[in-house]
Chain A
């Protein structure tokens, strides 16, 4: 089992390195506009294709907030960053099944936006 997993693991690690090198994390603020709903989708999409340490998403999220990006969009980014795994998708599909991986990631993507909206709405109750 473990030996069979090694090429998949090595593939994901190499792919993570390549994506992180190609993806312009520092230029991501330019992707956002002022539409909260659209920004949430952009945030969730960016979080989904990112593979760095969650700490990076906190720093990035904090920076986006100071640039005026909505908390809903930033939350969608934070949640999808840790729940959706586009780069790990091939490994997940091989190990746990293609449909499992496809539907799980789709559900997580939609949930990241839902959670973002609910979190911010609940925050307003405490404000």
Chain B
């Protein structure tokens, strides 16, 4: 995984060098924006680091099996939906924790449902209501929650059929 990550980083750096050669201003603006973005997500990165540390200390495979494992049932779906809605920061910072929980036995459908529910941004709901109205926001949030469950079930079925799980 680390090697693939380093290769990915080098590919992106290559894109920057290419952009720098074609139009230096775009590359420099992008770099400035990326620097600001990194600064903004540092608190979330710290939170994820702490969560991974705590999960490695406290969350044992037995807990994962009962709460978000294959036999977790309704409890697992509730944990995934609420966890996804309450999680903060960019999606990619959560991959490491989910990978960790996946290795401990977290159900694939619940990982997908967690990621989908990250689309419901509680702190931004008032702004969405401001732009699109309360009824629209409520209906959209309900559909997104329902489809998060469907996306999890569907993804798990597809991966099972493809022999990935």
Contact = CB atoms under 8 A, between A and B. Distances in A.
A33 B67 CA distance: 47
Contact of A94 (B1, B124, B150, B155): B1
A9 interface: yes
B8 A21 contact: no
B151 A104 contact: yes
Contacts of A108: 116, 151
Q: How large is the interface on A (under 10, 10 to 19, 20 to 34, 35 or more residues)?
A: 35 or more
A99 interface: yes
A126 B138 CA distance: 12
Contacts, number: 172
A38 interface: no
Tier of interface size on chain B: 35 or more
Nearest to B4: A94
Interface of A: 1-18, 20-22, 54-55, 58-59, 61-62, 75, 78-79, 82-83, 85, 88, 90-92, 94-97, 99-100, 103-104, 107-108, 111, 114-115, 118-119, 122-123, 126
Given A22-B26, A111-B150, A12 B116 contact: no
A95 B96 CA distance: 7
Would you call the interface of chain A mostly helix, strand, loop, or mixed?
helix
Nearest to A58: B131
A64 B88 CA distance: 27
A1 B155 CA distance: 25
In the A-B complex, the 9 residue pairs with the closest CB atoms: A17-B34, A82-B119, A95-B95, A7-B5, A17-B30, A8-B5, A17-B33, A7-B9, A21-B30
